[in-house]
Structure 1
C-alpha cells in the first residue's frame, strides 16, 4: 500500500512539473482557453436540445387556437347596416368566370385561329370551313330558342299558357332595399318577376334572335289598347342572362341608364330561366348615322357640354358625358356590340358574331363603320339608354377591348369612386341577392363571387388606365 502511495505521489509531481513547463508557452495557454470555451458551448447546446420538446409542447398548449374558438362560437354576426352585411372573402380563381345557363360550344384541344383571305387560300379554304362550323352551332342554338317560342305561342293561343312559378323571385333581407334602387326600380322588378301574362307576342329585333313581349294583367291603356305603356316586359333567350348582372352593376355604379331586368322561369318555355327586361315604347334608335369617325369628332368637340354645338361639328343629340358613362360600363362588361361591332380592339373567338358575319375583316377601315345599338328615349334626346347589355365574362386581362376607351378624356366621379372604394364586391352581393332565381342559378354566393372577381380585376385595370393616360374624373350630374 505504501508503494502505491509513493508511486502516485511521484506521478503527480512529474505531471505538475510537466504542466508548469507547458503552461509557460503562449500557444499552449491559447489552446487551453479555446478548448474550455468549446466545452462550455457544447454543454449548453446539449442541455437546450434535451429540454426543447417539453418546452415546445408547453408553449403550443398555452396558445389558444383561433380555429377551435371559431368552431365553438356559434353566435350569428350582427349586421351594422340595414341591408345584408357580406364578408368580402376573395375566392381564388385561375380562369375567368362564365355566366351559367349560356350556350357555349365545346372547347377544342387545339387553339383555333382566324384566317384571312390569303391564309384561307393557302390552307385550302379551312378558315371558311371553321366559320361555317361555328355558324352552324350558333344557328342550332337559335333554332332551339325559336322552337321554344313557337310552342309557347301555340299554348297561348289554345289557352293553356302557364306562366307562373310559385313565389316571387325578388326578395329583401331587410325592410329597405339597397339605396341605389329607386322606388320605381323596385316596383318594376316586382312587376316583371311575378305579374300574370295576359297577352303574348313575338318581336324580331334587327340582327338579334326573336324575343317574346308579354303584357301583364296590370297593363292599362284605354286610349291605346295596342300600345303597351305600363306593365310589359321582353323575354329574352337564356344566353342573355348576363343582362341581369349588367342591370345591377349599372345601378351600383350610379349610372342609371339600363332598363330594369330580372330573371324569371316560364313553364311554357320549358321551365328555362330567362332574363325579362322592361318594355319602354318611347325608346328609339339614334337619329341619323353615327360612324366611328363622327363619334370621335363629337368626343373632341364635347358636344352639348358648353351649350349648343356649332353646326359644322355635326353633333348628335347626345350629351358628351353620356359617351363616357357608356365607355366605362361597356369596358367593365366587355360589351363590344355598341362601340366595337367589328371586334377590332381584341382577339375574337371563331364563334363570335363579328367573325361569323365577316365584320372582323373590316378593321382596316374603321372610320366608316356605323355604331349599333345606340338608343335613346324620344322624350329625353340628351341621354342614352343602355340596351342589349350582354356582357362577356370569359375574357382575361390580356385580351380586353381597350378600343372602347378610345377618345375618352373624362369619366364619372361617382362610378370611379365605387370602383376605387373597395366596396364594389359588397354592394354587388347585396344587389344581386335580391334576384333569387339569378342568385341560385349561378350556384349561390360562391358562383356570384366568381363573376364579381372578373369585374374587380377589370376595375383595377381601368384604374391603372386612368392614371396612365391622365383621364379626368369629374362630376357628371346631367
Structure 2
C-alpha cells in the first residue's frame, strides 16, 4: 500500500480546522499590506523633485555655440555691482521659484535676473546702433498689463533693470560663458539665458523658433566714450594694455585714460577668462566681461597665449576650481538650469564636447602657470 507524503516525513495530516485558521491569518496579513505602488510608510521613501526636467528629444537640430568679440567690442568698466564681488556661499540652498536646489555659485539676484530674461514678456524694443542683429527689449512679468511700447517706457524699464539685449543665434556661447564665469567665482559677467521668442513685437527672424541669447542690460554701467551705448567701453591698444600691466608704470597717454585705474587683479581675471574662451578685446576699477561669444572650435595647437602676456598672477579661487578636476561636472550642474540651452544643445551628451574643450584649455593654462612659476591671489586683491 502506497504511503502518503506526510507519512514519509513522520507528519500527521493537517486537520481541517487548522487549515482554516492558517488561511484566515494569511488573508488578514494580505489585507494590511500597503499597495505595491506606494511606500510602506511616509518616511520610508522621500519624494524627490529633479532640479531640472530630464532632457527629452530635441525639438530641432542643435544650434552651434559660436562667435567672438570684434575689435570694437570691449569689456566695460562699471561702478561696484551687488553681483560683482560676493564670496561663494557654502552648501546648497533651496531657492524660491526654482525646481530643486540651485548651485551656490548663482546668487538669488542672478536667479531673479535669469527668470526675468527667460520668462519676461517683451513689451518694447529698440535697435542698437552699429549692431543690426542686436535688439534691446523691455521685459515685464507675465500678466503685467501696466506697460506701453514707447521709447520713453523702454528707457524707464531699462533704468529699473527690466531690459535685455537679444543677440544672434550664433552667440549662444555667451550663455555658457556666463555660467563659466560664475563657476570660477569671477562674478564679472552679466546674467544670460537662451530663449525662443514668440512676441509679435519682434521681427520674424527673432520668432522663427531658433534659440537666441538674451543678456541682462545693466543700467549703471559706465559707457565711457562709446557713442553706440551698447554696453561697450573705449578701445585700448595692446601697447597701452601691456604698459598698464607693469608695476607702477603708465604711459603718458594712458595715465589719465578711462582704463588707468583698473587693478592688475582685474586684468588677471579677464586674461584667465578669455584664455579659456579664446576671446580677446578689452577694460575705472572693476570690469564687466561682455561679448563673450568665444571660439569653441579654435584648434588647441593654435591657442592664443598672447592673452596671458604680462599677467604674473591669477585668482586663487578660479585656479583651485580648475585644479579640482570637476570643471565639467560643475558646468553641467549649472547649465541644467537653462532649459532652452540644455535642450537645444542635446543635454549632457551635446554639451560634453564643448566642456571637454574648455577643460583641456584649463589644463594647458595650469601647465603654463606652473612652467612660468606664476602666483595666485585672493579675493581681497582688486
Is TM (by shorter chain) over 0.5? yes
Q: Is the CA contact (8 Å cut-off) linking 1:244 and 1:262 kept in structure 2?
A: yes
Rg larger in 1 or in 2? 1
Change in 2 beyond 3 A, CA 1:384/1:263? same
- Alignment size in residue pairs: 272
Q: Please give the alpha-carbon distance, in whole angstroms, between the structure 2 residues aligned to 1:395 and 1:387.
A: 19
SS of structure 2 residue aligned to 1:277:
strand
SS of structure 2 residue aligned to 1:199:
strand
Q: Which runs of 4+ in 1 moved over 6 A?
A: 82-85, 309-313
In structure 2, which of residues 189, 204, 208 is the aligned counterpart of residue 270 of structure 1?
208
TM-score normalised over the length of structure 2: 0.64
Change in 2 beyond 3 A, CA 1:313/1:426? same
Q: Is the CA contact (8 Å cut-off) linking 1:200 and 1:215 kept in structure 2?
A: yes
Residues 293-308 of structure 1: matches in 2 within 5 Å?
293-301=239-247
Q: Is the CA contact (8 Å cut-off) linking 1:171 and 1:435 kept in structure 2?
A: no
Q: Tell me by how many angstroms 1:290 deviates.
A: 2.7
Q: Please give the alpha-carbon distance, in whole angstroms, between the structure 2 residues aligned to 1:238 and 1:310.
A: 40
Q: Please give the alpha-carbon distance, in whole angstroms, between the structure 2 residues aligned to 1:83 and 1:469.
A: 44
Change in 2 beyond 3 A, CA 1:102/1:446? closer
SS of structure 1 residue aligned to 2:236:
coil
Q: Please give the alpha-carbon distance, in whole angstroms, between the structure 2 residues aligned to 1:302 and 1:443.
A: 49
Q: Tell me by how many angstroms 1:310 deviates.
A: 10
SS of structure 2 residue aligned to 1:198:
strand
Q: Please give the alpha-carbon distance, in whole angstroms, between the structure 2 residues aligned to 1:240 and 1:302.
A: 38
Task: Specify the alignment match of 1:283 in structure 2.
Answer: 221
Change in 2 beyond 3 A, CA 1:209/1:401? farther
Q: Tell me by how many angstroms 1:295 deviates.
A: 1.0
Q: Please give the alpha-carbon distance, in whole angstroms, between the structure 1 residues aligned to 2:251 and 2:238.
A: 20
Task: Specify the alignment match of 2:123 in structure 1.
Answer: 198
Task: Specify the alignment match of 1:250 in structure 2.
Answer: 181
Task: Specify the alignment match of 1:165 in structure 2.
Answer: none
My pick for the range that moved more, 423-432 or 196-205, is 196-205
Task: Specify the alignment match of 2:325 in structure 1.
Answer: 422
Q: Please give the alpha-carbon distance, in whole angstroms, between the structure 2 residues aligned to 1:426 and 1:397.
A: 21
Q: Tell me by how many angstroms 1:252 deviates.
A: 0.2
Q: Deviations over 1:159-200 (max 9, x none)?
A: xxxxxxxxxxx99552x3100011100000000000111112
Q: Deviations over 1:347-393 (max 9, x none)?
A: xxxxxxxxxxxxxxxxxxxxxxxxx5x3xxxxxx3100101111111
Q: Is the CA contact (8 Å cut-off) linking 1:411 and 1:474 kept in structure 2?
A: yes
TM-score normalised over the length of structure 1: 0.52
Q: Unpaired segments of 5 or more residues in structure 1? A: 1-77, 86-98, 105-169, 304-308, 339-371, 375-380
Q: 2:370 matched to 1:470?
A: no
Q: Please give the alpha-carbon distance, in whole angstroms, between the structure 2 residues aligned to 1:203 and 1:427.
A: 34
Change in 2 beyond 3 A, CA 1:271/1:217? same
Q: Tell me by how many angstroms 1:204 deviates.
A: 2.5
Q: Is the CA contact (8 Å cut-off) linking 1:215 and 1:233 kept in structure 2?
A: yes
Q: Unpaired segments of 5 or more residues in structure 2? A: 1-44, 53-60, 67-95, 199-203, 226-233
Q: Tell me by how many angstroms 1:426 deviates.
A: 1.5
SS of structure 1 residue aligned to 2:357:
helix
Q: Please give the alpha-carbon distance, in whole angstroms, between the structure 1 residues aligned to 2:254 and 2:288.
A: 23
Q: Is the CA contact (8 Å cut-off) linking 2:65 and 2:173 kept in structure 1?
A: no
In structure 2, which of residues 205, 223, 238 is the aligned counterpart of residue 292 of structure 1?
238
Q: Tell me by how many angstroms 1:417 deviates.
A: 0.3
Q: Please give the alpha-carbon distance, in whole angstroms, between the structure 1 residues aligned to 2:351 and 2:97.
A: 16
Q: Is the CA contact (8 Å cut-off) linking 2:164 and 2:216 kept in structure 1?
A: yes
Q: Please give the alpha-carbon distance, in whole angstroms, between the structure 1 residues aligned to 2:193 and 2:253.
A: 43
My pick for the range that moved more, 264-273 or 241-250, is 264-273
Task: Specify the alignment match of 1:361 in structure 2.
Answer: none
Q: Please give the alpha-carbon distance, in whole angstroms, between the structure 2 residues aligned to 1:275 and 1:396.
A: 24
Q: Please give the alpha-carbon distance, in whole angstroms, between the structure 2 residues aligned to 1:471 and 1:278.
A: 35
Q: Please give the alpha-carbon distance, in whole angstroms, between the structure 2 residues aligned to 1:203 and 1:312.
A: 30
Residues 26-425 of structure 1: matches in 2 within 5 Å?
100-102=62-64, 172=98, 174=100, 176-205=101-130, 208-217=131-140, 225=153, 226-227=155-156, 228-229=158-159, 230-267=161-198, 268=204, 269-285=207-223, 290-301=236-247, 314=255, 316-336=260-280, 338=281, 374=283, 381-425=284-328
Structure holding more helix per residue: 1
Please tell me the root mean square deviation across aligned C-alpha atoms, in Å: 3.3
Q: Please give the alpha-carbon distance, in whole angstroms, between the structure 1 residues aligned to 2:359 and 2:139.
A: 37
Q: Tell me by how many angstroms 1:440 deviates.
A: 0.9
SS of structure 2 residue aligned to 1:216:
strand
Q: Deviations over 1:200-237 (max 9, x none)?
A: 211124xx44311111125999xx74342221111101
Q: Please give the alpha-carbon distance, in whole angstroms, between the structure 1 residues aligned to 2:120 and 2:247.
A: 46
Higher relative contact order (Cα pairs below 8 Å, separated by 6+ residues): 2
